[in-house]
A = this chain, B = another copy of it.
Amino acid sequence: MVQQERALRTRRVILTAAAQLFDDFGYEAATMSEILRRAGVTKGALYFHFTSKEQLAREVLQENARVPAVPPQRLKLQEAVDQGLLLAHLMVRDPVLRGGVRLALERVGQDQLDRSVPFQDWAEESLRLLVQARAAGELQPHIDPRELSDVFVGAFAGTQLMSHALSGRTDLNARVVALYRVLLAGIAVPGVLVELDVTEDRGARVHEATRLAARAVAHRRPA
């Protein structure tokens, strides 16, 4: 059991090192020897857990294939924005997530990793919420939910990229908040706009609420 825990920890250390290199230098420039060096494990340990750089990339991508779940909100527009604010919050903290986002955005046509999936997944998830927001009368009448969900996802992707290039993502929260404030002003009906919470600590609060909800579910499980 202790041995299994140690193996899991080693696996995590390797995955984290790989994700950091993917995030900093991209998939192609990251090498197995550099991953080895950064993880500080033996070659034997690395190849015991992962057979290739492609497998590492696949697992980094897989960890983040899903949009982070957010607690349901009365205003569906709030829920849609919470997804982005939570993602920004998590990206600042989680190197595996950052690596996964970079891999997803890097379209490298020569290998077999499908990178259009994260865009589509998130756009579909946004669309689901925005259709509900529309039905609830939260959106201005000229807004097309499908166009808007693509704008949400594309604009977020570029904003985090710019934050990566200019500040190493230290200003990610602030940039994402600025983006949503500008977007929402043209989207929400006035009565909804004043009720929306788009602040720099919203992502952290959504994260905490998500963790509490997960713990409550765990407690309800029969022993």
Residues of A within 8 A of B (CB): 24-29, 105-110, 115-116, 119-120, 140, 142-144, 147-148, 150-151, 153-166, 175, 178-179, 182-187
The contact sample of 5 A-B pairs, CB cut-off 8 A, is A105-B161, A144-B178, A151-B175, A155-B159, A157-B158
Bound: A163/B105 CA distance, A: 11
Contact at A154–B175, with CB atoms within 8 Å? yes
Residues of B contacting A108 with CB < 8 Å? Answer: 25-26, 29
A141 to chain B, nearest CB (A): 12
* Copies of the polypeptide in the assembly: 2
In whole angstroms, how far apart are the Cα atoms of A140 and B184 in the complex?
Answer: 14
Task: Give the top 8 A-B pairs by smallest Cβ distance, nearest first.
Answer: A158-B158, A185-B186, A28-B28, A186-B186, A157-B158, A155-B155, A154-B159, A154-B162
A182 close to B186 (CB less than 8 A): yes
Residues of B within 8 A of A110 (CB): 25, 29
CA distance A143 to B144 in the complex (A): 24
Contact of A119 among B25, B116, B165 (CB under 8 A): B165
Indicate if the CB atoms of B165 and A151 lie closer than 8 Å: no
- CA distance in complex: A122, B161 (Å): 15
The smallest beta-carbon distance between A12 and chain B, in angstroms, is 24
Does the CB pair B150–A162 fall under 8 Å? yes
Determine which of B119, B147, B182 lies in contact with A162 in the assembled complex, contact meaning CB atoms within 8 Å.
B119
